[in-house]
Every structure is written in C-alpha cells, then in structure tokens.
Chain A
Amino acid sequence: MSADLRAVEVSRGERVRAVVRGVGEVLITAGLVLLLFVAWQLWWTDVEANRAQAAITDDLHELWGDEARKPRPAPTAEPAEPPPPPPDYGPPPEVPDPESGSAFGIVHVPRFGADFQPRPIVEGTDLALLEDGVGHYEKTALPGQVGNVALAGHRVTYGRPFNLIAELVPGDAVVLETADAWFTYRMRSSTIVTPERVDVVAPVPEQPGAVPTERLLTLTACHPMYSARERFIVYSVFESWQPKSAGEPASLALPASALPAPDGSTSSTTGE
C-alpha cells in the first residue's frame, strides 16, 4: 500500500517536472525567437534591401541608357572653391507620371558621404514599397515641378536610405536623377512633427490649400530613430536642373565640411 502511494507520488512529481521543463523550454524558445527577430530587423533587412535597391538602381541606369559611372574621385582635404553657378537650361522638363509601385528616379545626397548608395525612388509609400528605396508620396509633385516633391525613407532598417537625415544642414544638395535630367534641390530647413501632420507634404508645406509658386522637395523619416513617435522632416528648394547629356551636376560633389576634419579646425588651413 505505502509502496503504491510512493509510486504515485514519484510519477506525479515527474509529471510536474516535465510540465515545468516544457514551459521553461517554450519561454527560452520565445526569447530566442525575439532575439532573432531583432537581428532580422536590424541586420538582415539592411542586407536584403541594400542588395535589392542596388539592383533596381542598376536596372534604371540600364533602362535609361546611362554609361557606366566612373567612381567619383576621392575628395581632397583642401576646402573646395565655391562652385560656378549652374548653367541655366530653361524651365525644367516634365517627368512622365510613374506607375504606382515602379521606380522612376534615383536620389543622391552628397552630405551622406561617399559610402552612401544612391537610392531608387519608387511611386507610393506603402511599407512594402519602401523596401525598394525611398517612396514618392502619390499625388505630390514630380521632380522639377512647381509644388512639393515628397519622399519618405527609412532611417533605420531596410537599407536605411535616410539614416543620416539629421546631418543635413541648410545649403546641402539633394539631387534627384530621372531618365533624362538631374534636379538639384538645396536644403532649407528641418523640423520634427507628429505622424498625422500630412500638411508637411502639401504643395506649400504647412499651408494646406495654398497655391504653390515654388518648386520644393520634402523628405520624411521616422524620429527618434527606432521609434514611430514623430517624423523628421527636411525641406529643400529647387536650385537648378540639367539634362543627362550635360553630364553629372557639380552639386553631386561631396560637401567640403563632410570630410573628416582634425578637431573641427577646417577653416584654419586657409587662414594666415
């Protein structure tokens, strides 16, 4: 009798132990899956998106019949001469309406440095589309048009095209390349807004309903990084355009201040 009881006790103890062990294993597994998810989000989406976006950029160059780009010469440490005023080619050309989801341009941001991979511009801002590059808000202006060209890009994950958006300073070039032309915009200001502020992509930003007279460009990205609480907004103004046949615009040159400077004493090299 007592032996039987002990056997029951033992088997119950084993069952309890098995359940506890099972629950522990499930919890450990869940933790590992969450860690894997973070690795996937922060690392693998970059790997995949960088590869996909480079392929799309190559396809665009091929489609547009661009000659293979020579790698831009490494910038010298001397402060650059002020660039000559860009030549005037008249009013900017019309960019044909892109199909939803298709890539129709490439964005270059010299401030982001020589390592920055120029990113495709795709029509639309769905999350899935932003894996292919930066998204052009549908129904906003097209490059060169009067109004506001609005582009959304990831600041982290999926190739993070706008990772360094907060580094832009007024006067920095944002260059949009299309099939036939280069459009140079100059950064004017930045702001931080809440996500529902759609007026930042209005034809006249922050004045919904106003009739635009300027040619503007607005970039949007998440803010702070790794958060959806706010959006980082950069406004730029159209400066010039040039046809592809005229070659690359001078505005693609890396800004001199983007060069690594020994403890910020860049100006002393030209002084007495």
Chain B
Amino acid sequence: MYGWLWGHLPGPLVVRLLTALLLVAAVVAVLFLWVFPLAAPLVPFNDNTVE
C-alpha cells in the first residue's frame, strides 16, 4: 500500500517527501476535524451526566 503510493508519487525525492508529508497532514486533519469528533460519543470516558 505505502510502497505502491510511494512508487506513484511524481518528481524527485525531495518533492516526493514533501508530497508524502502533505498527504499525512491532510489525513491527520480529516481525522481530527471530522472523524474523531464523530467517534467520540462512542467511547466511554466522556459521560458525566446522570440520565
């Protein structure tokens, strides 16, 4: 998966490295901004109300 991705990144090594870093940053951003907030109600350490 990662090998295939690396093989398909264009340009010289420096450009590939920067592109790869950008991709990682994008994935982390998507996780932090959208995925994790959606998952948070499903984990048990945020409940503090009686109901």
Report A's interface with B, CB cutoff 8 A.
21-22, 25-26, 33, 36-37, 40-41, 44-45, 125, 127, 130, 135, 137, 152-158, 162, 193, 195-198, 200-201, 220-222, 225-228, 231
Contact = CB atoms under 8 A, between A and B. Distances in A.
B39 A37 contact: yes
Contacts of B43: 41
Nearest to A165: B48
* Main DSSP-derived SS at the B contact region: helix
A200 B50 contact: yes
Contacts of B3: 21
B40 interface: yes
Which of B41, B44, B45, B51 has the most CB atoms of chain A within a 10 A radius of its CB?
B45
A44 B49 CA distance: 22
Contacts of A220: 48-50
Contacts of A153: 48
Contacts of B49: 125, 135, 137, 152, 195, 220, 231
Contacts of A41: 36, 40, 43, 45
Contacts of A152: 48-50
A250 B47 CA distance: 33
Contacts, number: 73
B41 to A, nearest CB: 6
Size range of the interface on B?
10 to 19
A155 B51 contact: no
B28 A25 contact: no
A154 B50 contact: no
B39 to A, nearest CB: 7
Interface of B: 1-3, 28, 31-32, 36, 39-41, 43-51
A200 to B, nearest CB: 6
Contacts of A193: 50
A201 B48 CA distance: 13
Given A37-B31, A153-B48, 12 more contacts: A22-B1, A25-B2, A40-B36, A41-B40, A135-B49, A155-B48, A157-B46, A195-B50, A196-B50, A222-B47, A222-B48, A231-B50
Given A25-B1, A37-B36, A162 B48 contact: yes
A36 B24 CA distance: 12
Contact of A228 (B2, B32, B39, B44): B44
A152 to B, nearest CB: 4
Nearest to A131: B37
A127 B40 CA distance: 9
Given A37-B36, A40-B36, A127 B50 contact: no
A225 B44 CA distance: 11
